[in-house]
A and B are shown apart, each in its own frame.
Chain A
Amino acid sequence: MIRRKKILIYAAVAALTLAPIAVVSVRAQLDRAHELGKRIKCSCGGCEQTAGTCYHVGGEFSGPCGIAKQMIKEIQGHLDKGLADDQVIDLMIKEYGTAAYVEPPKKGFGLVAWLMPGVYLLVGAVVVIFVMSRWRKRAEVAEAVAARQKPVSAEALERARALAQKATEE
């Protein structure tokens, strides 16, 4: 009898001790679903927000809107089944289509979106460097031509200075 009582007391203490951990764990799961929601676009059609941040204009409330809430609920469902983050995202994309991507996937045609800015910068830089070297060559030619010309004599320079002085005296 005493033993059973002891077991019950231990169980109660354990339950009380573990309860906050369980609550924290549920909270963490909810936060994780919310965070994952930020990797999926809300399909409400009224905004460009993610399911985790949707507050779309004219929505039923200031957000997350009903559809975003539903999506987060679905994410939660997938997480409850023990799926990893990327698996959850893949499942959500399967369900909502490629329009639910927040950023293009780094595979297939989506890779083009990621490569394009780098290509622009590279091509632009090549063009700028080419243009600069061309302009530099022209300047070098002009400098060489100027160097070949007969230098101005000190007398001529003095005469020009005197003329300039006279012209600007007012």
Chain B
Amino acid sequence: MDVFGSFALLLAFVCALYALVGGIAAIATRHPLLIKSTRQAGMAACVLIFLATFSVVYLFVTDSFSISYVVSHSNRDLATFFKVVALWSGQEGSLLFWCFLLSIYIFSVLIAYRNKHGELMPYVGTILAGVQLFFLTISNFVTSPFKLLAVANASGALEYYTRPDGSGLNPVLQYPEMIIHPPNLYSGYTGFTIPFAFALAALLARYPGEKWIHLTRKWTMIAWCFQTVGILLGAHWAYAVLGWGGYWGWDPVENASFLPWLTGTAFLHSVMMQEKRGMMKVWNVWLVFITFMLCILGTLLTRSGVVSSVHAFAQSNIGSWFVGFLAVTLAVCLFAYFKNRDYLKSENQLDSIVSRESSFLFNNLVLLVACIAILSGTLFPVFSEWFTGNRISVGTPFFNKVNVPLGLLLLFLTGVGPLLAWRKTSAESLKRNFLWPTIAGVVGAVIVIALGARDFYAIVCFLLSTFVAATIAVEYYRGAKVIRVRSNLNWLSSAVELTLRNTRRYGGYIVHVGIVMIFVGLAGQAFNQEVQKEIGIGGTAKIGPYELLLQALDQKQEKNYVAERMIVEVMKDHKPVMILFPERRNFPTNQESGTMVAIYSTLREDLYVVYAGVNQGSEVPTIHVFLNPLVKWVWYGGIVVVMGTIVALVTPRHAVLVLSGAKEQTQAKGLRTTLPSSVTVREGHD
């Protein structure tokens, strides 16, 4: 199977090379057969990558310990599903997996548009082939997952051998989130290749109008959604596994995944300016280019060892390849831009400073500033070493101090933007739209202060969260009211109908609700408490309203590890709530240990219990307890963001007007003229 897999991978490289070179020739000659053959070569490369990937999975599942990569990341006792996911547990496999996910996107694009956009698709196919070729070069010739175990004998010839068992999978990767976190994150990273290819192709081909924007909107949203889920799953993994009580530590690799998310978010907003008003064409093209390049930069940071990270298991010396690829990508983008920049000319006009357009400009400003600030903070140790010879490290406190105000500014704009009309917003409209949300925000702030909040940023965050939630509620109320009046539906059905009629706008609102929930969860950090103490059997630890009683210590023998457990009874206000089992796991295969945190999670707070070890002198176990308020809001917020994105991807239902007593549904003609005078129709967030 290793021969089959490596041959498939090599053949994929040849096909991708043909798709690139042939694609360039096809663009130059416009020969239909050449165009068709290069498209088919691109699709063949994808199929061959699928086969190579399945070969690696097969080698893992069948314990092929003659393969170096399998030996390093698996062992016989490893559960089968972990053997499957071990594919992306190290350098070689994760790069092949990257290639695999990219191929799914490329294959889908080539199939979906095989008979459409004849002017554009040869460019798109060629660009995609170029990206694919880079990753295939790495997987074939730099870090092949099919490398056999071999030693040189006395005569210098290589002797191949098979190990009886593997070294095992890194313990921290043996956790459910690791099954879905990397695929989601990689799907986000690779997904941004599609809008990049379309933007670059449109620029090179001088493709008319905003078609490339319409073509790539869904792809961008899918990539953005995967990136969001990937980031949140990574945060949950850090929270549940690493045992330090938090979920976001501004680790360089976390930052690397956040950067394209920020620029992708900026693009999803600014693209509306181009669709609605034909503005910001240059900006949008460069936002897409930068987002793609940040994805590559993220991979470079993860794997090059330029910055130290918790993701050290993926580090190697392939960074120079990525630097080269980044340089080539930038050069191609600059060439395309300077060659055809007149194609991006637009007559940008701003009718009023108080308008939706302005809010989008500021939204983009804040997102970009946050992106550059995080990037420069992440690379600051490298810069300081260059300039001073000393590596000055930059950690969580710095990133929090810089990004919390920016985040709050963004939250403010999240509330303000949708309430401003395109072109111009009147003073009357401002008053009408902002009055209730502002009152709600102030009430929200007063409530949290009354509940004991004293942290300035936390209070502001609650104020703004309530404000944004109220703006969305008001928007829904107004829209649903119109439908309710016209169709006699109840409030809930009216709100659903409203959403389905303009999925993009109301899907966006749902995403904003999710973002508000995440901010509420983040604000909860201001009230975190922790206690660490040595605790004998029968001993107790107190934190907030909880009392923890150590009932016993025991051992649990599993197939792949031995777990030492604390059996902790949790009481709240002297009433038993539940039993928690924080664990320490020892993995004999690779002589490593890991933790399994026990969490009692409610919407109000998380009781987070870590078995923190045994005092070497006294042999008394140590318990580390955290009380983290509102953490669950972050995870639920993520779910709402995904739901909103899915809604925004759904094709909107046409508005129908159901007349009382009518037997047939009629297309809603002249809806506006029949509305009650109290209702105002205004362009919304779509």
Residues of A within 8 A of B (CB): 34, 41, 45-50, 53-63, 97-105, 108-110, 112-114, 116-117, 120-121, 124-125, 128, 131-132, 134-136, 138-139, 142
Contact = CB atoms under 8 A, between A and B. Distances in A.
Contacts of B393: 41, 98-102
Interface of B: 170-172, 242-245, 249-252, 279, 308-310, 312-313, 347-353, 358, 361-362, 365, 368-369, 372-373, 376-377, 380-381, 383-384, 387-388, 390-398, 401-402, 406, 532, 584, 592-595, 610-613, 624
A136 B350 contact: yes
B608 to A, nearest CB: 12
Contacts of A55: 242-244, 595, 610
Q: Chain B CB within 10 Å — which of A120, A128, A134 has the most?
A: A120
A113 B394 contact: yes
10 contacts: A41-B393, A57-B242, A62-B584, A62-B611, A98-B393, A101-B393, A108-B388, A117-B373, A132-B353, A135-B279
Contacts of A132: 350, 353, 358, 361
B312 A57 contact: yes
A53 B242 CA distance: 11
A60 B593 contact: yes
Nearest to B585: A62
Contacts of A117: 369, 373, 376-377, 402, 406
A128 B392 CA distance: 33
A116 B392 contact: no
A56 B395 contact: no
Given A62-B584, A139-B351, A113 B391 contact: no
Nearest to A27: B533
| Smallest CB-CB A-B distances: 10 pairs | A135-B350, A62-B595, A117-B373, A139-B349, A103-B398, A102-B395, A98-B390, A103-B397, A55-B244, A55-B243
A50 B393 CA distance: 11
Given A109-B384, A117-B373, A135-B348, A61 B613 contact: yes
Nearest to B171: A58
A34 B368 CA distance: 36
A34 to B, nearest CB: 8
Contacts of A61: 584, 593, 612-613
A6 B491 CA distance: 83
Contacts of B251: 48
A134 B348 CA distance: 9
A128 B350 CA distance: 12
Q: Chain B CB within 10 Å — which of A34, A49, A62, A63 has the most?
A: A62
B167 to A, nearest CB: 13
B398 A104 contact: yes
B349 A41 contact: no
B394 A124 contact: no
A120 B361 CA distance: 15
Contact of B369 (A98, A101, A121): A121
A138 B392 contact: no
B309 A113 contact: no
Contacts of A97: 390-391
A41 B396 CA distance: 10
Nearest to B309: A48
Contacts of A142: 349
B365 A124 contact: yes
A58 B243 CA distance: 12
Given A46-B310, A121-B406, 19 more contacts: A45-B308, A48-B395, A53-B245, A57-B312, A60-B593, A61-B584, A62-B595, A63-B612, A104-B394, A109-B388, A114-B398, A117-B373, A117-B377, A120-B372, A121-B365, A132-B353, A135-B279, A135-B349, A139-B350
Contacts of B245: 53
B373 A57 contact: no
A128 B362 contact: yes
A59 B170 CA distance: 12
B278 to A, nearest CB: 12
Given A131-B361, A139-B351, A98 B395 contact: no
Given A62-B243, A98-B392, A138-B348, A128 B308 contact: no
A167 B456 CA distance: 60
Contacts of A124: 365, 368-369
Contact of A47 (B250, B310, B380, B613): B310
Contact of B377 (A60, A113, A136): A113
Contact of A53 (B171, B244, B402): B244
Contacts of B584: 61-62
A13 to B, nearest CB: 29
B365 A48 contact: no
A62 B610 contact: yes
B397 A102 contact: yes
Nearest to A54: B244
A131 B377 CA distance: 28
Given A48-B310, A113-B380, A62 B612 contact: yes
Contacts of B244: 49, 53-55, 63
Contacts of B612: 61-63
Q: Chain B CB within 10 Å — which of A56, A121, A134 has the most?
A: A121
Nearest to B349: A139
Nearest to A132: B350
Nearest to B313: A57
A62 B613 contact: yes
Contacts of B387: 109
Contacts of A59: 593
B308 A57 contact: no
Nearest to A116: B376
A101 B630 CA distance: 30
Contacts of B391: 97-99
A76 to B, nearest CB: 15
A116 B406 CA distance: 14
A125 B365 contact: yes
A46 B392 contact: no
A48 B380 CA distance: 14
Contacts of A47: 310
Contacts of B349: 135-136, 138-139, 142
A116 B373 contact: yes
A97 B390 CA distance: 8
A135 B383 CA distance: 37
A114 B450 CA distance: 34
A58 B350 contact: no
Contacts of B373: 116-117, 120
B235 to A, nearest CB: 14
Q: Chain A CB within 10 Å — which of B348, B350, B387, B592 has the most?
A: B350
A133 B361 CA distance: 12
A159 to B, nearest CB: 21
Nearest to B372: A120
B344 to A, nearest CB: 15
Given A62-B584, A124-B365, A138-B347, A99 B593 contact: no
A58 B308 contact: no
B254 to A, nearest CB: 9
A110 B612 CA distance: 34
Nearest to B613: A61
A37 to B, nearest CB: 12
Contacts of A104: 380, 384, 392, 394, 398
Contacts of A46: 310, 312
A153 to B, nearest CB: 25
A60 B595 CA distance: 11
B663 to A, nearest CB: 21
Contact of A98 (B347, B365, B384): B384
Nearest to B409: A121
Given A99-B381, A101-B392, A109-B384, A128 B353 contact: no
Nearest to B612: A62
A118 to B, nearest CB: 9
